[in-house]
Structure 1
Amino acid sequence: MMNEAGGTVVAEYKRYILRKIIFIVVCATVAIVAFGISVGIGARQMEIGRVYELLFNHIMGVTYPVNSTDWVEDAVIWDYRLPRSLFALLAGASLAVAGVAMQSVMNNPLADAYTTGVSSGACFGVAVAIVLGFTLIQNEYSSIAITINAFLFAMIPVAAILAISPRTKSPATLILAGIAIGYIFNAMSTLLLTSTEEETLARIYVWQIGSIDDIIWSNIPIVAVASIIGLFVVGMLSRKLNVLSLGETSAKAMGVNVQTMRYILLLLMAFMVASVISYAGIIGFVGLVSPHIVRILIDSDNRFVVPASAMLGASLLLVCDIVCRLISPNGSIPVGVVISFVGAPIFLYLLVRKNANIW
């Protein structure tokens, strides 16, 4: 009888794990398909099979006769379309994983880079670099200097949250504090914009909305490094995040150094968010909605939530970029607008959905 009961439990556990793995595989498949469609969209439309054929041939070193159809399509993909789609893939994954880390550390499902003021701080750092020409380091590669500016200013809300957290036991208080800090940074950014010329004003305006229209290859390395490191570190700490979800006292009793882990994850989250904002501006809702959807569908085990959120976040941003390019081929509608139209209703649905236990 005991063996039979034990076998039933093992079988149930295997089904439980299999369901999560299948969900991650489905999200990864959607991301791969969306990536191929994204690269294929443009004045010269290409089927997804053709896109991956050209990508594979390019990686393998296949060359084509100059000015042939293959040569033109290969150049179109690698020089113009691939950087944008690859950035969307990496940025979506990075923002989603940052959202998982922030929500777990703060034990609040409403926490993400936007609601805690981190995005606003990073955006102000970018505005300072562009409008005033002031960067905290002097570097011949201006994009690196802007990213560091964004990171260091993003750390101000993080530092404020860390300073406030020991004085309050309410996660909601931290979110409200983050929102207040975000408003302060938004006001300072607006103040900068009132004293700048029209060209710079337009550039910062697009940054505040969020756009990936002008992404080029030189923008990819920092975001790629931030995404890979973030996914690896948060994934490695996923078991400890599960323990932390039991409460800070319980986590300490089980040997988790809560304060150190909090510092590491918040620093990492600020770097991930800053790397995206320094090139694309504020892209909201990805880090908020993706972890919610994942937790509703496969529960809250962070060992699976982290990779699933990364794949879902990448898919969400890619799909929104596809929609953006279909309805606005000239690029007049930034992806940040589309992601807000998609993310806000989803988030409202999640908030009012009955029996939606996300923790």
Structure 2
Amino acid sequence: MVADEHERDRWAPERLSDRAARADARADRDLAAAATDFLLPDEARLNDRTRHGMAALVRGTIDAVETAVRHHAARLLAERGATERAEALLRGRTDVTARLLRGGLLRDPDMMAELLARVRQDGLAAALPPAPAVADQPSLVVRLAAAPDAVVARAAAALLVADNRRRDAAERAAESGGELPAELHHRLVWWVAAAIRDPHDHGTDLAIAEAALRAVAAHDEDERADAVAMRLAAAIAPNPRELPDLLVEALADRRVGLFTALVAHAAGLPHEAVRAVTLEPGGDRLWLALRAIALDRATIARIALALAEADPTRDIDAFADQLDAIMAVDPVAARAALLPLTLHADYRAAIRALARSEAG
């Protein structure tokens, strides 16, 4: 009965103009979205696997942050004697992911770049050809965890834990947000807090704010798998003779994060920049990075072949045609060409934004 009355009220004559105006605006938004989708070139479209992975990662990450904030805020309310408010907060039915999408917050380019890179890195790792079976030969990171060098062993053991935690979370669609860089994690926590707040209940509002602060403070940047991989690369500090085999074996172990960390450490580039160039199907900047660390022809070819087997959008024939030219690039010239990647990410983003505005 109450629901019927609510529906009749929504269709009351005095509300019809507003209702029609909202439908008109929604139709405009839908048309704009359809036009954008239609005009996208094929190479810019997400494939089904990446789209599904992005949807699962976005929702899983947001749900985990929402759960943490709701539960701690409810605990605070219960401790303050506001049991009914605590229960109401736990029963909250807001679809936070849908609300953040409608509000446009998830169009944040930094957030989308990070999440998309996560999905693509994990997809690439899963699709890499497995290493040939070698009797009594543990994987690279397992061997490093047993290394006599205690610093290397600790870093390798930490990477095993971090990778297993990340893989387990992905399989259970139970992301914690812990793999996000600190700035993005903090941004997401506050978005979620704003999405679940009750503007008419100041007491609950305060509890949500306190719970969000707790979630922000609990985030440990150093536990991210990428950060652990960088520590391991620094601990190994491979010399030029050791580096080629380590890179090939990291890919054979499907440890894309370790591969990018080793390249980043050797080239003196930020890990996020090397991850981005590794995931580019064209590979031009990756070949420059590999020449910048003076990799030999056979190693570059093995890396290209492994990546092409994992990613069908990579043109291995085109790479083969360019290999002579790639090998002719002097490492000093390659390092010079990649110097912009050493600039702060925000600085590079501002440079690109200014260039777009001036070009358009």
Higher relative contact order (CA 8 A, sep 6+): 1
TM-score by length of 1: 0.31
**TM-score (structure 2 length as normaliser):** 0.31
